[in-house]
Amino acid sequence: MTAARVTACCILGIAALLFVAGAAAEHGERTDASAGPNEQLATRVEKAIGADAALKAARIDAEASGGVVALRGSVSSAQVRAEAVRIARSVSGVRTVRDELRVAAAQDRTEPARF
């Protein structure tokens, strides 16, 4: 392979990486290459929680620092809360889960009032 072909292949490879990184940034996603280990762990926890059908509608954010993951947000019940914590603990790299989730009060939900 000539030097010109090697250079062209390298340029195309770099352009492809920049394109992927730009597309991910445009959609608000982090790429593994640009995110630190804490952000990567938080993202893995959020994805694991979001993959569970019962938790998909819940708005749960994860923040990680040195293997300690804090879960924040609002859930519909104590059972959903416990499941979110269980899933977070199962993610590789999580040492401890700080449960800062709030169980929504009955009036916070869309259920009709009963008199």
Poorest-confidence range of 32-36, 45-49, 58-62? Answer: 32-36
Q: Please tell me whether residues 40 and 24 are part of one structural domain.
A: no
User: Number of structural domains, the chain?
Assistant: 2
DSSP structure string for 48-115: HHHTSTTTTTSEEEEEEETTEEEEEEEES-HHHHHHHHHHHHHSTT--EEEEEEEEPPGGGSSPPP--
Whole-number pLDDT of residue 46: 96
Q: Please tell me whether residues 42 and 82 are part of one structural domain.
A: yes
Q: Please tell me whether residues 30 and 40 are part of one structural domain.
A: no
Q: Please tell me whether residues 58 and 79 are part of one structural domain.
A: yes
Average pLDDT, the chain: 81
pLDDT band at 49 (very low <50, low <70, confident <90, very high): very high
> Which residues share a beta bridge with 59?
74
What are the tokens at 62? Answer: 């994860």
Instruction: Please tell me the distance from the alpha carbon of residue 46 to that of residue 62, in angstroms, as a whole number.
Output: 6
pTM as predicted: 0.63
Domain assignment of residue 44, given as a range: 35-115
Q: Please tell me whether residues 78 and 104 are part of one structural domain.
A: yes
Q: Please tell me whether residues 1 and 24 are part of one structural domain.
A: yes
Residue pLDDT, tens place only, 52-89: 988 888 889 999 999 999 999 999 999 999 999 999 99
